[in-house]
Structure 1
Amino acid sequence: MRLIFTVLLLATISCAASRTSALKPVEIKVVIINMFEVGADSGDAPGEYQYWVEREHLDTVIPFPAGYHDLRLNEKNGILGVLTGVGTARTAATIMALGLDPRFDLTHAYFLVAGIGGIDPRMGSLGSAVWSDYIVDGDLAHEIDAREIPKDWSTGYVPLGKSTPYEQPRTARFGDDGNIYHLNTSLVDWAFALTKDTSLPDTPAIAARRRQYAEEAAHRPPFVLRGDNLSASTFWHGKLLSQWARDWVKYQTDGHGTYAICGMEDTGTMQSLTWLAHADRIDINRVLVLRTASNFDQQRPGITAAESLGETKVRQYSAYLPALDSAYRVGHLVVDNLVANWSQTRDHIPAGTGPVK
């Protein structure tokens, strides 16, 4: 009888161990965060997700009912792709759901946001790739219609908790939570050094378009640069709002940041990642944001902002396909280096210049 009991006990322990093993979270090395896709994940007209799915072999589809879209995984390399949906609300909800998903161990994971955006022609050209140190929110504010602003105001946007544009002192009772995110500069240094000489796709069409702008930086063939990111769910456009973006980023970062490119979701991503870090689910020092220029953020000489906005639609952007390609060409160098050197990068964040060796 004792022998039978022992056998049953051992079998029970074995079954429990098997269940525990089956439920062991998958260790993820890199999470690639994209925001939109046009159609299917592969094989048709691409959005931000498709090149990553196809070229990084994210072949395993994982149901993700708590998020915007099913996840995709490269099981061999530990690379996870997540599609968040457009706008800060969808993105924040999707990233929070991912961070709390018990199927994944994200405690050592690196996070790469790879998307397209509108670039300031003072900073760069179509198809260029921008690594950012600061992610600044452009939604949290008071606003007065431009037709009603006082004559001595440069904008109708007023910082939350303030009474006039760019009122000092900058910090208010709301603090900086949600307004500003400062990424790990040492990691951004490393990513930029690794990718700064990457050859980016150029075309006769985008070469002709950039010549229509007066700014010197706009005339350059696509290149990799450093510059800061203004994230706002409102798709704004035009020279006056571009100047607002420059001023807003300077103000919110106490003069340390320089606006270069805009996106729509990145403060949503950063908010969720920040709170997940507070819960010890992820390491906030392992986050990178890369945006590539699908269009300029303002009109070219000779047309109005409204006319330029009318030309600015998804898949009709001046450099839509080159920008998607640039995001992968630049971003995958970082992803592949992190994965190839996982014995070091798992526990030690890259810093300084050049690839991990």
Structure 2
Amino acid sequence: MRTFTKTLWGTSAVVLTLAGAASAEPIEVKVFISAMFEIGENSGDRAGEYQHWYERYWQDAAPQEVPGAIAPVHCNDEGVCGSVLGMGKVNAAASMQAILLNPAYDFSDAYYLITGVAGTPPSRGTIGDVVWASWLIDYDLGHRWAPEEGEPGEPVFMPRKGYEEYRVHELNPNLVAWGIELSSDVALKDSEEAQTYRMRYPDAAAQAAPSVKVGTHMTGDTFFHGPGLSDEAQYMAELYEADDYLVTEMEDNAIAQVINRLHGTDRIAAIRGSVNFDQGHPDETTLQHLDPAPGETAGGFAETVENIALVGAPLVDRIVADWEAWKDGVPAVVAD
């Protein structure tokens, strides 16, 4: 197979092409793990969203270049594959579609684990939490106006007709239940910096130690911030009759929409680790929180990206180990 060198995420790597791969037997994908960015190398330096997954599953895997995807795909011999899809809805969706349509892979029976970092409202979460998604909601696909142009105190968002099938996905409750059960005893990492930072917030949830939670992931390219927009995200969750808004991120609903068009959503799981609050504490403005002074950041990033893999890996490993029970669909009963 021909090889070439490509510069990716600041790294020069030898990448195997998939030219001619269509004539070979496609790789049977059992689980596909997606992350949105990596900071440097895939192993051995400061970890972004992908590194802990790479070190767990693909240390010996050759990178496979996929036309249209932003980064190579890695697969191990057990059918666990993964890739960095890129940040934002367009990047992530385009990469996911390119990978799904590539004939080198057989996604007929695949499960999907969408992963990454996120923000959380201090009233419901804290730094280091990992949240299983029960619902994925697109923060956009509607109408918005300035508060002073509407009724005082009323919401400034209205859904746009025609997007009903795109803007909300309820994930398979049975698969979510499996994820929660298998990660219920995971000991999450924490840091002194995050512990100190939490105390700036009066909310009991913000001050708590990291834990595994479940709720709505809100997908928006807009990095919305502040108590007003946080309240709006919760309003949207209630408007769509979903669970409470726990996570703000930029890709999940878009990725799910791409998968849904080809394979449905029954085999999609999503987890996000909270590395920031979606608003400042009572003694700072929203703009101050968006641009913190040196030493004023939340901390806990390294611990949170490790937590994401710690929480998600038990589900991946169970699916692969018990493949005959999972191949035809999510088993009906959560049991050890």
- TM-score, normalised to structure 2, is 0.88
- CA pair 20-222 structure 1, distance change in 2 beyond 3 A: closer
In the alignment, which of 170, 187, 190 is matched to residue 199 of structure 1?
187
SS in 2 for 1:294: strand
**Alignment match, 2:248:** 262
Superimposed CA distance per residue, residues 159-214 of structure 1 (whole angstroms, 9 cap, x where no aligned partner): 21xxxxxxxxxxx3x15121100110111011111112211001111111111111
Counterpart AA for 1:41: N
RMSD: 2.0
1:21 is displaced (CA, Å) by 9.8
When residues 348 and 107 of structure 1 are mapped into structure 2, their CA distance, relative to the original with a 3 A threshold, is same
Counterpart of 2:270 in structure 1 is: 289
Equivalences for residues 1-357 of structure 1 within 5 A: 23-58=24-59, 59-74=61-76, 76-146=77-147, 148-160=148-160, 172=161, 174-252=162-240, 254=241, 256-277=242-263, 283-311=264-292, 318-355=299-336
Distance 1:217 1:119 in 2: 10
**Residue pair 1:125, 1:220 contacting (<8 A) in 2 also:** yes
Aligned-pair CA distance for 1:22: 5.2
Any idea what SS the aligned residue of 2:291 has?
Answer: helix
Q: Distance in 1 between matches of 2:334 and 2:324?
A: 19
Count residues in correspondence. 314
Return the alpha-carbon distance in structure 2 between the equivalents of residues 318 and 113 of structure 1.
23
The 3 A distance-change label for structure 1 pair 104 and 239 is same
How far residue 51 of structure 1 moved from its aligned partner, in angstroms, is 1.1
Aligned mates of 1:312, 1:343 — CA distance in 2: 53
| Greater fraction of residues in helix | 1
Q: Which stretch of structure 1 is more off in the superposition, 342-351 or 216-225?
A: 342-351
Decide which structure has greater strand share.
Answer: 2
Normalising to structure 1: TM-score of the pair? Answer: 0.83
Q: Which of structures 1 and 2 has the bigger CA Rg?
A: 1
1:286-341 CA distances to partner (integer Å, 9 max, x unpaired)?
1101011111111112000110011399xx65321111011010011111111111
Shift of the 349–143 alpha-carbon distance from structure 1 to 2, 3 Å rule, reads: same
- Counterpart of 1:152, as a letter, is P
Measured in 1, the distance between the counterparts of 2:333 and 2:180 equals 10
Residues 54-88 of structure 1: CA distance to partner in whole angstroms, max 9, x if unpaired? 122252210112111111111x2111112110000
- Unaligned runs of at least 5 residues, structure 2: 1-19
What are the ranges of 5 or more consecutive residues in structure 1 without an aligned counterpart? 1-18, 161-171, 278-282
CA offsets, 1:255-280, max 9 Å, x none?
x4211111100111011011112xxx
Letter of the structure 1 residue corresponding to residue 152 of structure 2: D
State the 1:344 CA deviation: 1.6
